[in-house]
Amino acid sequence: MMNDGIAINFVASRGVERTFLASTAFFVLLILVFAGFEHLTSSLSPSETTDADPAHQILYLGIFSLVLVASIQRRGLGAVRAMPPLLALLLAWCLASAYWASAHGEVFRHAAVEILLTASILLSADTIGPERAFRYCRIVLAAILMVNWLSLPWVVTHLSGRTLGNWSGPGSQQNATATVCVITALLFAFTRNGRFNWIGWLVAAAALGFLAVTRSLTGLALFPITLLAAIAYRLAWRDGLSRAIFVTAMGCLLTGAAVWALYRAGPVGPLLDPIQLAKRTEIGQSAALAYFRSHPWLGTGFGAVANDPNGYLQLLISLGWTGLALALLAAVAEPLARLWPLDYRDPNFRALLFGLFVLFVLRNFMQSDFLGTDDGVWLALLLVLAALRYPDKSLTLSP
């Protein structure tokens, strides 16, 4: 019996050792993305940071190295399965776009950093398991929320009430901080902390309170929609009939909304012209638009177009019709296909995954989150993909 106990403890310690590097790297990655990279690395790079500056490249390369070592120790060559094939094709297209882009070096650096980040997240989630990855997300997001609230008295003292309304906390940008609040509320609303999840509901309420402080219309509009979508998925995916009723109702609603939008927009022709769409959303980069006109299937190159109010349009301009098709297949079609089957195991977890997926799809109509290097919504979608592809389907949200 004593020998059996020693053996069990040895196996457990070996398991902890194999996931320690990945867990540590994943924690650092969460802090960098959710807390705001440019604030945390301002001392390393005094100039304005971008997602391809030396600080990004060095830190993300170091994180990727740690995660890769841990993943190979845990999975061996099977670690490559953590990367979805469609997403791998999309990333390869981003890297290849440096060949035909006008700014070859800049596009190559953007694509390289994005590949490092995406691979680090997926390998981490595969090594430590999606359940633990989401648990770490809750810890980091709860800590960020606490820092936001603790820093509020200083802002009230030093800033005017007009400025406070648009304050985003220690984070980098108002809408980004508001979206982090939405993700925090969703994670804790569908978790199991305390009897009847009273701890989770308190943290979710605190996140919504700070969301109100930011006064971000995008965040305030997205939370009820994503929450209702997750609840509807939770209720409708119990049996085939409920699912059919829900999908039919949503199809009618979306069709009606599309018809109304086309009616309000006037002629349909300009809506199908990406150049006219770009002008409507005020991209304002005539050189990029002219280049896209001559390269509609290739695009201007990954990262060559600045952040646009519409993520789908930015993908179209930067990666062309081919890149947009790959992105929709990898980030929209595949999650939908994996969320479609009925699954009776831990429906709260799948409801959370569906809510985060809806958040990603809707927010890209107002902000570009596709392939975002320092983007909490893109990180959340990658965790959704990792959870849906994880071999062990009996995942829970228990702490």
pTM to 2 decimal places: 0.83
Calculate mean pLDDT across residues 141-145: 91
pLDDT score of 387 more than 60 = yes
Instruction: Give the residue from 186, 212, 139 showing the smallest Cα distance to 358.
Output: 186
Calculate mean pLDDT across residues 344-356: 85
pLDDT score of 235 more than 70 = yes
Residue 24 to residue 218: CA distance in whole angstroms: 32
Calculate mean pLDDT across residues 207-215: 87
Calculate mean pLDDT across residues 168-196: 77
DSSP strands (E only) in the chain? none
Instruction: Give the residue from 278, 279, 280 showing the smallest Cα distance to 312.
Output: 278
Residue 80 to residue 42: CA distance in whole angstroms: 34
For residue 279, give the amino acid letter: K
Please give the pLDDT value at position 54.
74
Residue 50 to residue 374: CA distance in whole angstroms: 9
pLDDT band at 330 (very low <50, low <70, confident <90, very high): very high
**Residue carrying the six token digits 């930011």:** 214
Please give the pLDDT value at position 178.
86
Domain boundaries, the chain: 1-128
Please give the pLDDT value at position 306.
64
Calculate mean pLDDT across residues 116-121: 92
pLDDT band at 273 (very low <50, low <70, confident <90, very high): low
Radius of gyration in angstroms for the set of CA atoms belonging to the chain, rounded to a whole number: 22
Instruction: Give the residue from 139, 174, 148, 188 showing the smallest Cα distance to 28.
Output: 139
- Number of Cβ within a 10 Å radius of residue 262: 12
pLDDT score of 365 more than 90 = no
CB within 8 A of 175, min separation 6: which ones?
216, 218, 219, 367
Mean pLDDT of the chain, nearest integer: 77
Q: What is the pLDDT of residues 73-89, one digit of tens each?
A: 877 877 788 899 999 99
pLDDT score of 12 more than 50 = no
Residue 13 to residue 26: CA distance in whole angstroms: 19
